[in-house]
Amino acid sequence: VARLTPPVLLSLAITVELVLLFYFVVRVLEDENIRWILYGGSGASYCLALSCIWITNLVNPGVIPPPPNKHTIEDPEDTVNDDGEKWCRTCKHWRPPKATHCTACGFCMLNYDHHCGVVGNCIARDNHRYFIALLGVGAVGHVFLGIGVGLRIVKAFDDYGSDIWTHWWLYPMFLAAAYVVYLTLALFGFWAFQCFLASTGFTEKDVMGRGRNPDCEDVRQCPSNVYTLCCTTSGIEFRRFDHPQGRDRGYLWFQ
């Protein structure tokens, strides 16, 4: 249940945003064409965002399965080998250079980016694309929301003129406009940051945790990195629900 709580709350939050937009903003606009553009754009963004939220939460992010005989394996003296692989004392195996053990999920993850408490899952090799799509769709959806709120405020000035400040509902509308502008800029900024890192073959963990930064050679690898991000399918079939390390961590029976 705890693992599903974040996506449920996020889904409820964007649903409330959509309902408020439709009821208090779009339906009172006079231009029918603008109304249908806002209905269609925000509705499509909402559906895509919901899909990305739940796919990011439910999909296997890129777990490295621990060996079945892990309890009989002793830790080596050297925890880093000649290939740059590090030994995981919890999972009892060597993990590749870009892999990291997530204490929240209980397993090592390939191409680990970060653990996202907002969607309730690790962001790693096999769900990174959906997380980036969620950020982009969320930003676009809030652009539609901002346009609607802006047009509603403009309509209020046209309708009431100098008496507009006597209408109490305008003040929450200004707060909503500030909230939408802030959230849109934040989502676009994080989306651009994630796109840049993914296109250069880097992760947030590389930059923030390991102190590595992309160079010109990494930038030249952009086409192959984008193809890997978008088109590579997962070859890992591993049920975390059945494994001792996955117990009491909120995994569903099919995960």
Residues with catalytic roles = 116
**110 is written with which tokens?**
């390939």
Say whether 243 sits in a helix, a strand or coil: coil
3-state secondary structure of 5: helix
Q: How far are the Cα atoms of 181, 209, 236 from residue 14, in angstroms, in the given order?
A: 15, 31, 32
Alpha-carbon distance of 238 to 255, in angstroms, equals: 8
Q: How far is Cα 203 from Cα 128, in angstroms, rounded to an integer? A: 10
Contact 62, 109 (CB under 8 A): yes
Output the DSSP codes for 99-124: -EEETTTTEEETT--EEETTTTEEE-
